[in-house]
Amino acid sequence: MGGRVIQNLTETLQKYWGFSTFRPPQDQIIENVLNKKDTVALLPTGGGKSLCYQLPALIFSGKTIVITPLIALMEDQVLHLKNRGIPAQCIHSHMTYRQIDGVLDNFVFGDTKILYISPERIDTDMFRERYLRTKVDLIAIDEAHCISQWGYDFRPSYFLIPKLREWKPDVVFLALTATATKEVEKDIIEKLSLKDATIFRKSYQRNNISFFAIETNDKWSEMIRILQKINACGIIYVRNRKETMELSQWLSNRHIPALPYHGGMDKIQRTNHQNAWMNNKVKYMVATNAFGMGIDKPDVRIVIHLDIPASLEEYYQEAGRAGRDGDESWAIMIFDESDLSAATQKWEEQFPDVVLLADIYDQLCRYFKIAYGSGVGETYDFSISVFSNVIKMPSRKVFFALQILEKEGWFQLSEGFREPTKVMITCSHQELKEPGFIPAHWENIIVYLLRRYEGLFIQPVKIDESSLAKAMEISESELVETLKLMEVRQIIKVNFAKTSPYLVFLKERPKKEHFYIDKKNYEALKSRAFNRLKSMITYAVTQDLCRQKMILNYFDEEMEDCGKCDVCRFIKTSSDTSEIIPQIKILLTEAAKKYTLLTIKEIMFLFPFNKRKLVRLALQQLEHERMVEVDNSGKIKWINHAV
């Protein structure tokens, strides 16, 4: 690439982002993209992935489409780009048909350079029509690991992405992800049909983060001691929505400012909480994993997990939100014994028995009154909670079953695109001509519909409510009420715009005994998920291997011991147990007086977490010297009181 182009890249970087240099290998990725070559960028959280497509978007003469599964990321990225003077828009399921139509028009005819969409959007007629009419140079696929069944977050909708290449063979693909094993990396290239793709990898190593895994019997108390010591901005991840509310309140009551965040909260409340945290009005965000993706806050000093994530990919991505400014930071997992069994139980729930899958699918078809041999392409408003209540089954159980059924291609679950209102005239031509059949104040509406739209007597036709209301000089709400009355009079049939989540059936309904899934593939999917969880649990409980080294080895990368994690710190500190042993003797003696015995873990948990490995070492030493005896349940008693 010529020197003038390189200079242009640097000037653009300085003008819009205020930086004078790129982070390696951003410049190489951008140059490769601008040379019209398919590219895979494997950059850890905080590695600057978004710049790798945002800057080329400004250099290319055509437009750029960014595909991401997360609405929060779309909105956040668009806001940042607009603040930098870069024309960007997004389309998501919370928008009206009219809003989506306007954004797409601006993308085709206006100044919008970057458009964010979800992968499901590709399959809509409205998007395809505008895409074919637009000069698009670059397709950026964020969270590209979602296309791989080897990955931790497989999403079937990502299989729609290659259509964009079919429709425009010359468009450049840039696949980006923060976490990918070699298997996932290979799958990304294959499933996206990338052509001679150049792969850029940045080491997953984060030298400024200290990784800790702490087992305890009182997670909240353990956490508060750590927060009081570090006293800096952070994120605390918990397993469910209820816990975000309870823990944030518990912290606030102890004068540690915290706010909850979860996907079930009102959007305005979520935004207010996020802004308060971003602007340092509160120190801690207590959140489910719905929070954090695309949030660029450089001064997060600590990320705490109060459970066991499903995979090291998921954990490392979330932990990596600490220390994006390069300063010293901490990623700490605090767990108890129940978390280990809960993680395994969740894995089991995520892969229900095939008999249950068949039963839920059959009940779903009955729920929507779908006949055997039909259903392909049929679309229905859908609420998991309502359906679960109808079939009297826990919504959590139904949710996991539906995820598997979707991955097996039986239907597609949508967040709820805003489908336009459709109208069909159900009366005959002759009836329309009869005097008095249509009230006089409705005639203008019928005349407008007949002049503007074709095929109204044959099938439901999409209409633009806004244009119709404007032509009739009435409000949209008045128009809606009028259309409802016309339907009651059996003049028209109207399907109003949908804003709720919906479900699209992709196959004909078979009889229950003929329902099938690819059992071999299903078992492989289940096995891979179990192996990911097993690696995660091994990371948590291991006491003698460098934590960051374990993570990097998982991603097929080598490194020396980090020297900063809890394991490395213990190795570097003194193994002198002379101060610990007398304390252990006192604890065991007091317990014996009460006719109780303490377990190894109970003794360890009575000491600060940074002393616990020394306690374990002391207990091993005492057992070796036959000064204590450990029974099969792990309980300890003294057999030599001369210590």
CA distance 167 to 243: 46
Q: Is the pLDDT of residue 1 over 60?
A: no
| pLDDT, averaged across the chain | 88
Confidence (pLDDT) at 643: 40
Q: Of 335, 365, 389, which residue constitutes the final position of a domain?
A: 335
SS3 content of the chain, % helix, strand, coil (to 5): 50, 15, 40
CA distance 41 to 185: 10
Q: Is the pLDDT of residue 396 over 90?
A: no
Residue 198: partners with Cβ closer than 8 Å, 6 or more residues away: 32, 37, 38, 39, 40
CA distance 407 to 395: 18
Task: Specify the higher pLDDT residue, 47 or 121.
Answer: 121
One DSSP character per residue, 397-415 reads HHHHHHHHHHHTTSEEEES
Taking Cα atoms as reference points, which of 148, 42, 44, 151 lies closest to residue 532?
151
Report whether 636 contacts 619 (CB < 8 A).
yes
Sign for the pseudo-dihedral over CA of 277, 22, 116, 377? negative
Q: Of 280, 300, 335, which residue constitutes the final position of a domain?
A: 335
Sign for the pseudo-dihedral over CA of 361, 363, 368, 374? positive
CA distance 581 to 559: 35
Q: Is 588 a domain residue? A: yes
Give the angle 239-242-244 at the CA atoms, nearest 5°. Answer: 65
Residue 57: partners with Cβ closer than 8 Å, 6 or more residues away: 63, 64, 86, 113, 114, 138
Residue 240: partners with Cβ closer than 8 Å, 6 or more residues away: 288
pLDDT in tens, 138-148: 999 999 999 98
pLDDT in tens, 531-572: 999 999 999 999 889 999 999 999 999 999 999 999 998 877
- What CATH number corresponds to the domain at position 257? 3.40.50.300
Q: How many domains does the chain have?
A: 5
Q: Is 248 a domain residue? A: yes
Residue in this structure with the two tokens 């039986």, named with its chain if needed: 410
Three-state SS for 165? helix
pLDDT in tens, 485-530: 999 989 999 987 655 567 889 899 999 889 988 888 899 889 999 9
Same domain, 195 and 281: no
Three-state SS for 90? strand
Among 135-139, 237-241, 291-295, 473-477, the range scoring the smallest mean pLDDT is 291-295
Q: Is 382 a domain residue? A: yes
Q: How many CA atoms lie within 13 A of 12 on its CB side?
A: 19
Q: Of 144, 169, 201, which residue constitutes the final position of a domain?
A: 201
Report whether 505 contacts 382 (CB < 8 A).
no
- What CATH number corresponds to the domain at position 405? 1.10.10.10
- pLDDT (average), residues 606-630: 83
Same domain, 82 and 196: yes
CA distance 199 to 189: 10
Q: Is 566 a domain residue? A: no
Task: Specify the higher pLDDT residue, 632 or 323.
Answer: 323
Give exposure, 43-64, as e/b (b: 16+ Cβ within 10 Å).
Answer: bbbbbbbbbbbbbbbbebeebb
Q: Is the pLDDT of residue 330 over 90?
A: yes
Taking Cα atoms as reference points, which of 320, 323, 304 lies closest to residue 312?
320
Same domain, 46 and 128: yes
Same domain, 46 and 187: yes
Please name every residue paired with 138 in a beta bridge, in sequence order, or none if there are none. Answer: 64, 172
Task: Specify the higher pLDDT residue, 449 or 154.
Answer: 449
Report whether 426 contacts 490 (CB < 8 A).
yes
Same domain, 118 and 52: yes
Please name every residue paired with 140 in a beta bridge, in sequence order, or none if there are none. Answer: 66, 174
Side chain identity at residue 232, one-letter code: A
Neighbours of 431 (CB within 10 A): 13
* Three-state secondary structure string covering 444-456: HHHHHHHHHCCCC
Sign for the pseudo-dihedral over CA of 381, 384, 389, 390? positive
Same domain, 151 and 37: yes
Report whether 60 contacts 137 (CB < 8 A).
yes
Same domain, 22 and 112: yes
pLDDT band at 415 (very low <50, low <70, confident <90, very high): low
Confidence (pLDDT) at 381: 82
Same domain, 350 and 309: no
pLDDT in tens, 429-446: 888 888 888 888 898 899
Confidence (pLDDT) at 593: 80
CA distance 297 to 17: 15
Same domain, 56 and 36: yes
Q: Is 643 a domain residue? A: no
- Domain of 632 in residue numbering reads as 573-638
Taking Cα atoms as reference points, which of 156, 164, 165 lies closest to residue 128?
164
Residue in this structure with the two tokens 């024309």, named with its chain if needed: 87
The number of residues in the chain equals 643
Confidence (pLDDT) at 392: 94
pLDDT band at 601 (very low <50, low <70, confident <90, very high): confident
Q: Is 47 a domain residue? A: yes
Same domain, 291 and 158: no
Same domain, 363 and 225: no
Would you state the torsion angle of the CA atoms of residues 497, 70, 241, 253, taken in this order, to the nearest 10 degrees? -120
End-to-end CA distance of the chain: 74
Report whether 141 contacts 103 (CB < 8 A).
no
Q: Is 533 a domain residue? A: no
- pLDDT (average), residues 8-18: 89
Q: How many CA atoms lie within 13 A of 141 on its CB side?
A: 33
- Percentage of residues of the chain with pLDDT beyond 90: 54
Confidence (pLDDT) at 417: 45
Sign for the pseudo-dihedral over CA of 518, 521, 527, 531? negative
Residue in this structure with the two tokens 């800096």, named with its chain if needed: 232
pLDDT band at 418 (very low <50, low <70, confident <90, very high): very low
Q: Is the pLDDT of residue 642 over 50?
A: no
Same domain, 28 and 156: yes
Pairing of strands 422-425, 492-495: antiparallel
Q: Is 220 a domain residue? A: yes
Pairing of strands 411-414, 302-305: unpaired
- pLDDT (average), residues 218-241: 92
Residue 210: partners with Cβ closer than 8 Å, 6 or more residues away: 328, 329, 330, 331, 562, 564, 565, 566, 569
pLDDT band at 4 (very low <50, low <70, confident <90, very high): very low
